[in-house]
Amino acid sequence: MANNFILLLLFLTLLSMANASTHEKLQNPVARCADAGAMSYCGEYFISGVGLPGQFLISPDLVNWHGPVSFFQTKAAWINRNDEKEMHAPGIRYINGKIHFYWNGIGYAIAEKPLGQYKEMPTRFDREIDPFLFVDDDGKLYFYTVKYTDGNVICGQEMAAPGKLIGKSVSLISAIPNSWEWRDWKVNEGPEVIKYRNTYYLLYAANVTSIEMANYLVGCATAKSPLGFSNQTKYPWPVMEQSDERIFDEVETIIPWGANGGPKWNFTTNQPAGNWMMPNFKTDKTWKKKYGAFGSPIRQNSRIHDVATLWNSDDIWTRLKFTLPEKFSTNLQLKVRHLDSAEFYLNGNLVHTNLLWAGPRLVNLKEKDIAKLHPGENVIAVHCQSKRNEKYLDIGLIDPGNKKEDDIIWNTGQPTVLKGPNGFEWFVIYFALWNEGPHCQGINRVFFFDKKLYVDGPTGSNPQQYQPPPYKATFSDNFTSHKMDGLSDEFGEDWEYHGGIWYTLDSEARVSKDWLHTQAPVKEVFALVCAEPAENYIFELWTRPLKIPENEWGIMAWYADKSNYQKIYFSPSKKALISEISIKGKIKKIKFPMGKSFDFSAFHKIRFEKNSDCFTILVDDVNITRNKKFKIPFRKKGRPGLLANKQQAAFDGVIYTIGWDEFDKKICGWKKMSPNGEISVDNNGINLKSDAGKTLCVKGDPSENYEFSTQVKIQNTNHGLRTTDYGSSKAGIYPVYVDENNYLAAWLSPKEKSLVISGKRNGNKIKKEVVNLEKWERLFLRGKAPEVPENIKISASHCWKYDTLDAAADSLISKSSRENIPKFSFWDHRGTKEWLQYDFQSPKIVDCSEVIWYDDTKDGGDCQTPKSWELFYKDNAGSWQPVKLKKNSSYGMEINKLNLAEFEPVETLAMKMEVTAKNNRGAGLYEWTVINSETGGRQEEINLYLKRVGIISELKINFDKRKPFEHPVKWTLQYKNKNKDWKNVETITQAKNEIKFKKIKTDQLRLKYIVKPGSYCRVVKTYAKVEWQPSYNIRSVKLSDKIIIFIDGKEKIEIPGSWGKSKVGIAAENCTAEFNGITCFRIE
């Protein structure tokens, strides 16, 4: 096992090296571990988790990891579980000179460096699992954990210090019923909190980690304060889900998986004739026809083991006729999951054999095998053999077009979010299974569409759009590959020295006194990066004094010349950080107090962000400039560097990246290039108003390669329900601006419902490109919140203290007699006769009843379906009378189904159920309904969410057609308008699964439907036709030979050609447009 682990690490290292060399392709996974925590320290990344007990993997770039390196083994006496001993799900944070390490249990240890030595707290610091320490940008600390209360609940609590909790723990979020995050168990866990653009983001994992269920996904909640998260502030969709969902949405599916609503297959479990795989084979009566996804056992709500047809024998043979279009690609891929061995045939030709269990995965078909396929009818045949108790076979076929699809990635979870090596990019580090597994770590880029978080993943070894490894900084130095040996007034390859003796030791840059070596002692020394000066950049490093701090040291934040500079340095004597700005020799100092507990002798990270003439300073991620706007009253390019004033100091983890990141009122430095229009800046960003003609603003340090992104919102005076309401208005970005004769523009054109590319090169117009932005977009489903109708009062003879009366009528319709949703039970009464009663506010006509029994005997429990039960109604005299069952109806007591009892109609103010439990057993139920069948059946509803507000006019609904599910009796559609009121759509046409209606602008719909009594209905997927959005995120990547344009994270067009060094621009024409969340940085 150890040798295999080492070989896998070697493989991942080689894979990472390949990543770095291709530049345009990030290849996951990058490291072998799971349930991990990570941090950055002095220019390196450290990760530890499952598979790395007391060990770190270390990386300079999030891709190339080396190790493992041992750092700590717990010896706490309270340890009694394996996840506690191996320190699973750690939270790791460096604060004020100390590494704080927490892990499941919850244990706590501290050290001065990542590799120790650690001092362990002998008792538990807190309970239960998944600790995370968040440092707010005002310096306050918050501790997040998962508590075992009502399921796995994420809680938060304020801290006075890293080892001291204050106040009370606050329950923040828990799994929402009838949604993607409660498919198997009530779990929210793995909290990770960041703050960006004045918004707090909580990433979390939902459902259980079980690979048999494969429902583990990553969600996001937002807040305006660290403890302000709630279920109401969650995104209704997962921000990371199975890659198969994206494949199903974006790729032509020829044969859907059974789990995706696939077709019925012919199958047999008896050995067929030898030519059973041939196209002309005739099936006999031993062959049956049922939906694909064969297997056992049946696992309710499993994504990976979603059995549609039971298969219990050792072998199964399946066949399916399918149709190929007139044109299909040579990149066809099978989608498979099989337990155990399987062989696959296409038109009688053996195309794939696997003697082991596999999947989910894609199988690349060879060109010679694809050549034997033809337009029209073809046959796929599969034989699977499994001698284990668990069996499964599901087959699909896709045509990805010009490029083979990526891996199947599933069970994503335990997110950690960190800045990338260039200081601008955000990345999520997560565990998942790539194809068969095992659990490994992947990384993917996190984007913010203004303030809405979006993850470009998960991805595998073959991402489908431009997705490079983390970009390098314009300049970086960890002082591991060279020596600094500069003296005063001498120049090195990477650094320009101004005084002092500079050298490297222990992978640090160090500066010592130089007045012993020069005739004229100097007051201070500094070293500037040997890189291009800029007007917009970030500069970040870690620094500490070498001896007892008496004087000052820090950074030369901006240096134009001897008279124009900005220094930022620690001053222990003043207990402050000082910003010293000199403009034409006139010096101004700003003092930022660091607090009594600040350890000036420790390593600290200083980050300086220069955006035109504005600047921000962060120390250890604490924004000491807060939200105030500080300016350098002099717009001139400069370079940053290291600084010491009669203080021997050490420096490490240097990052200098040209670019800027701005939002809301912090937007600045844009130069208006056209005489038309007006510009203004407010909390919505920068506004360009152009009533006639074009308004163009440009910004930036001219660069060869860079990334530029912003959110664009076009305003209009009408309701915007027709794209013609926008008239000839358009807005967008200039990915390239050299001058008026050399530029490239990317316009959002509502009139054309398109992205329009135009521009000039050497004064000549380039070819216009138009990319249609109309799309079918999947909506995300969330059922109605559990709710007892207002007109029902519930009472019972007894209710167990951990159950609720409301659960009996909360509209949560279980499909299983053992499911993790609220229930009602008579436990701990055994073998008794009990009653449950509904009282109505006004008389109600009812003629049928449904009940889903609770039964936990398979799990060793003592609640079971009852011995008997009976229904009663209250007559006009107030007496209880038994209902009269209809012919062929009975009081059903089956598990895993809705037991329907039909009776002669009665009009009543109350209904009662009398239940007699079996001997020494308790009884309980998930739901009891009483219905008037004349209305059609049980009324249900589900909310449908778009990720962004859009103008829509059509909806397609995929109802599950596999038993026990049935199509609803009827359904209607509503939408939420701009006033947050629900309105019915104005239907134009409605078919069984589709509806066309008058255009609406919304991001939320509601499907109301009636289900036949005794049956289930499930909406699998819904898609809306989005004609246009009022707001889009545009991102451009300028490389040496091409420019790539993305809309809302999706690559839309690649424009070949080289443009040389250029700036970027934003523009509006015949409209008012808002631009917010603007980021631009140089690519190295």
> Residue 626: its pLDDT value, please?
82
The sheet with strand 376-385 has its strands ordered as 288-291, 264-268, 315-324, 376-385, 341-346, 349-354
> Residue 859: its pLDDT value, please?
87
> Residue 16: its pLDDT value, please?
41
> Residue 816: its pLDDT value, please?
85
Say whether pLDDT at 547 is over 90.
Answer: no
Can you tell me the mean pLDDT for 495-504?
90
Which tokens belong to 970?
């009827």
Say whether pLDDT at 924 is over 60.
Answer: yes
Q: Residue 22: pLDDT band by 50, 70, 90 thresholds?
A: very low
Question: What distance in Å separates the CA atoms of residue 340 and residue 389, rounded to the nearest whole number?
Answer: 11
Sequence-ordered list of residues with C-beta below 8 angstroms from that of 855, at least 6 positions apart, any chain: 817, 818, 863, 864, 865, 895
- For tokens 């960890």, name the residue: 478
> Residue 790: its pLDDT value, please?
86
> Residue 434: its pLDDT value, please?
96
> Residue 488: its pLDDT value, please?
43
Question: What distance in Å separates the CA atoms of residue 281 and residue 179, rounded to the nearest whole number?
Answer: 44
End-to-end CA distance of the chain: 40
Determine if residue 572 is left, alpha or beta; phi over 0 gives left, psi from -120 to 50 gives alpha, anything else beta.
Answer: alpha
Say whether pLDDT at 325 is over 80.
Answer: yes
Q: Residue 722: pLDDT band by 50, 70, 90 thresholds?
A: low
> Residue 486: its pLDDT value, please?
56
> Residue 301: its pLDDT value, please?
86
Can you tell me the mean pLDDT for 704-711?
98
Say whether pLDDT at 130 is over 90.
Answer: yes
Cβ–Cβ < 8 Å for 770, 747: no
Question: What distance in Å separates the CA atoms of residue 928 and residue 914, rounded to the nearest whole number?
Answer: 12
Digit-coded pLDDT (tens) for 570-579? 999 999 999 9
Burial 153-189 (b: 16+ CB within 10 A, else e): bbbbbbbeebeebeeebbebbbbbbbbbbbbbbbbbb
Quote the mean pLDDT of the chain: 92
C-alpha distances (whole Å) from 738 to each of 533, 703, 704, 1060 are: 19, 10, 11, 8
Say whether pLDDT at 487 is over 60.
Answer: no
pLDDT higher for 851 or 3?
A: 851
Can you tell me the mean pLDDT for 935-947?
94
Which tokens belong to 183?
């498919």
Strands 34-41 and 44-50, by their bridges, are: antiparallel
pLDDT higher for 344 or 817?
A: 344
Digit-coded pLDDT (tens) for 786-835? 889 888 999 999 999 999 999 999 998 888 888 888 999 999 999 999 99
Can you tell me the mean pLDDT for 216-239?
98
Can you tell me the mean pLDDT for 305-321?
96
Say whether pLDDT at 516 is over 70.
Answer: no
Q: Residue 4: pLDDT band by 50, 70, 90 thresholds?
A: very low
Can you tell me the mean pLDDT for 85-91?
94
Say whether pLDDT at 868 is over 90.
Answer: yes
| CA 749 to chain CA centroid, nearest Å | 30
Strand partners, 181: none
> Which domains are present in the chain?
2-244+409-455 (2.115.10.20), 252-399 (2.60.120.260), 475-662 (2.60.120.560), 666-767+1039-1076 (2.60.120.560), 783-935 (2.60.120.260), 942-1028 (2.60.120.260)
Say whether pLDDT at 21 is over 80.
Answer: no
Residue among 196, 737, 705, 734 nearest 471 (CA): 705
Q: Residue 1073: pLDDT band by 50, 70, 90 thresholds?
A: very high
Say whether pLDDT at 273 is over 90.
Answer: no
Can you tell me the mean pLDDT for 631-659?
93
Stated pTM of the model: 0.95
> Residue 727: its pLDDT value, please?
78
Cβ–Cβ < 8 Å for 334, 309: no
Digit-coded pLDDT (tens) for 963-1009? 888 999 999 999 999 999 999 999 999 999 999 999 999 999 999 99
